Amino acid sequence: MKLNIDGLLVYFPYDYIYPEQYSYMLELKRTLDAKGHGVLEMPSGTGKTISLLSLIVAYQRTYPLEVTKLIYCSRTVPEIEKVIEELRKLMEFYTKETGEKNNFLALALSSRKNLCIHPEILHANIVVYSYHYLLDPKIADLVSKELAKKSVVVFDEAHNIDNVCIDSMSVNITRRTLDRCQTNVETLQNTIQRIKETDAAKLREEYRRLVEGLKEANVARETDIYLSNPVLPDEILQEAVPGSIRTAEHFVGFLKRFLEYLKARLRIHHVVQESSPQFLKDIYEKVCIDRKPLRFCAERLRSLLRTLEIADIADFSAVTLISNFATLVSTYSKGFTIIIEPFEDKTPTIVNPVLHFSCMDPSIAIKPVFERFQSVIITSGTLSPLDIYPRILDFRPVTMASFTMTLARTCLCPLIVGRGNDQVAMSSKFETREDFAVIRNYGNLLLEMSAIVPDGIVAFFTSYVYMENIVASWYEQGILENIQRNKLIFIETQDAAETSMALEKYQEACENGRGAILLSVARGKVSEGIDFVHHFGRAVIMFGVPYVYTQSRILKARLEYLRDQFQIRENDFLTFDAMRHAAQCVGRAIRGKTDYGLMIFADKRYARADKRGKLPRWIQEHITDGSLNLTIDETVQLSKHFLRQMAQPFRREDQLGLSLLTLEQLQSEEMLQKISQIAQQV
């Protein structure tokens, strides 16, 4: 159908539309009009991707000078492929409707093996790739540097974007890294020696080029041609390369000294935590390395590697890592912490020192993106509470909205189970998690559900270790064997290949009617990347609240930073983080309006307002007072009732006019009134 979105003609490749899609497109258009950034939460399965593509492509065609490119970032390879498939559908629709062959060029980059850095990327109208191509400075510099300012950037499935940012800026250095680095430096030295004997002019030329190269970058940055690189600080562009690392030999000597210093730092017996300035002060005192040459380190090494015409850069990953670390630690006095641990907490007898250089501020990595591109859209099915993202990513959105899922029948059923039938409270909180009664009640819950839920059940645990322990004690108590009378059991393991196989078998068992249970882990690969549509997931059980492991020093440092810099209280952040993962887990089962599923939160703490309130609106609004703090028996009763209702035939007519609209219905004044209620502005 052809839609009129606030005066814009949008081709929408379907015969019907969900009201929330219309509302979503309206908000999106407003964001693009304002040339600002947006945060939009819309449940999965309501056609978010096609709404985004339809509107932005229409916008590009209507205002080719305002928006020149769409950069669509998603998280996993299947998601990227899905976007491409939807885009293809849209393009076919355009061709069919307009009769002309479209001249749109869309490009998907996936997997670095097939990395496409062809200049075509500059001409494509749409680029689809993974987050890392934009957020990881090492790749962004290669791939995305020259993307036009008038691009719209979309981060889909963006609920974890802060972690991606942090990961891309954090560095870990072990003894092994340093050993490999040592070899790298020796190779460099030998190569330089050889070239010096054969072609001394080349090295002189190298130095000249280095200075020029940096000047070029400076010009580009000032005229705004490039996406800036957070690892290439402004200062280097304006200053001259310090004398101490000017020649190749001096630079290698410098690297050696730095390496020796790092080795010395790893020879410790107790944990050390310090800030970047402290580290710089120490390095100056111990080996007289100044801040300035450190800052030039990454760029200097890149130039040297280019000059030496080294084919396989991968061999030099260790020395590259060290020099990136040098530049980062000397550039950012804030937002990073250095933690040196002599051994792992679990195994205090085995010496395995690691230097963690942890980024605590996700805004550092994403800052260039917000600064460069006129519109950046952060969207996902679970972004609640919306206002926390602008705070931790440090940007000012023009629109922030959460959309509900309009439903003709309530196809999701969130239930909060707080007690066993013996009235013992159910919770994964630290004090009670090993409690025999809690584990048994969790087992009974799963057992009872396995008897009444058809086909597939997915259960998530708060961590892998917790799941292992529970599975072992369920096995000892014979609970698992009783569950096996109803369904087959498959369990996520730490091995991805093994888990893939278990997943496939799980689906097979759901498919052939046997029914199965998948035991899985929140924050694991399954919870983040696999959908359980229709009979593959008729119920999701979230055992406990998936808090992150709080004893880690890195996390503690990050919490402190959040408190000091963003005034976000530790508990608020931890709860937010736990709830976004819980929402991700339970949201896996509902992928559309024809789908249905139970969402069982098995922990009494979910009933509290501070937890419940952080769930996405589209889940929250279906939690009634009657679904709080239930016993297992009550849960079973409510579930039975729900499943019986859902098993009734559900036809298009039931939806039409309520949660599904024809073009005529969409145009009615009354409906437009209703639609304006769908978006909740924050």
In this structure, the strands spanning 456-461 and 516-521 are: parallel
Q: C-alpha angle 104/83/39, rounded to 5°? A: 100
Closest-CA residue to 213 (of 304, 329, 333, 108) = 304
Torsion on CA atoms 424, 425, 431, 433, rounded to nearest 10: 90
* CB 444, min distance to other proteins, A: 16
Nearer to other proteins, 97 or 481 (CB): 481
Nearer to other proteins, 26 or 489 (CB): 489
Nearer to other proteins, 378 or 479 (CB): 479
**40 vs 152: CA distance, rounded Å:** 14
Count Cβ atoms within 10 A of the Cβ of residue 461 and give its class: 0-12 exposed, 13-18 middle, 19 or more buried.
buried
* CB 545, min distance to other proteins, A: 20
Q: In what order do the strands lie in the sheet with 397-403?
A: 106-108, 126-130, 69-74, 151-155, 375-380, 37-41, 397-403, 679-681
* CB 162, min distance to other proteins, A: 11
* CB 313, min distance to other proteins, A: 11
DSSP 8-state secondary structure symbol assigned to residue 601 = E
Nearer to other proteins, 465 or 647 (CB): 465
* CB 583, min distance to other proteins, A: 20
In the block, tokens 């790092």 appear at 262
In 3-state terms, what secondary structure has residue 149? coil
Nearer to other proteins, 38 or 43 (CB): 43
* CB 315, min distance to other proteins, A: 13
**369 vs 395: CA distance, rounded Å:** 11
* CB 472, min distance to other proteins, A: 5
Q: How far is residue 375 CA from its own chain's centroid? A: 19
Cis peptide before 242 (omega within 30 of 0): no
Measured in degrees and rounded to the nearest 5, phi and psi for residue 127 equal -120, 130
What residue type is assigned to position 62 of the chain?
T
* CB 85, min distance to other proteins, A: 5
Measured in degrees and rounded to the nearest 5, phi and psi for residue 496 equal -65, -40
Nearer to other proteins, 356 or 614 (CB): 356
Which residues pair with residue 600 across a beta bridge? 415, 541
Nearer to other proteins, 330 or 450 (CB): 450
Nearer to other proteins, 47 or 242 (CB): 47
Q: What is the sign of the dihedral through the CA atoms of 560, 561, 564 and 568?
A: negative
Nearer to other proteins, 284 or 549 (CB): 549
* CB 152, min distance to other proteins, A: 21
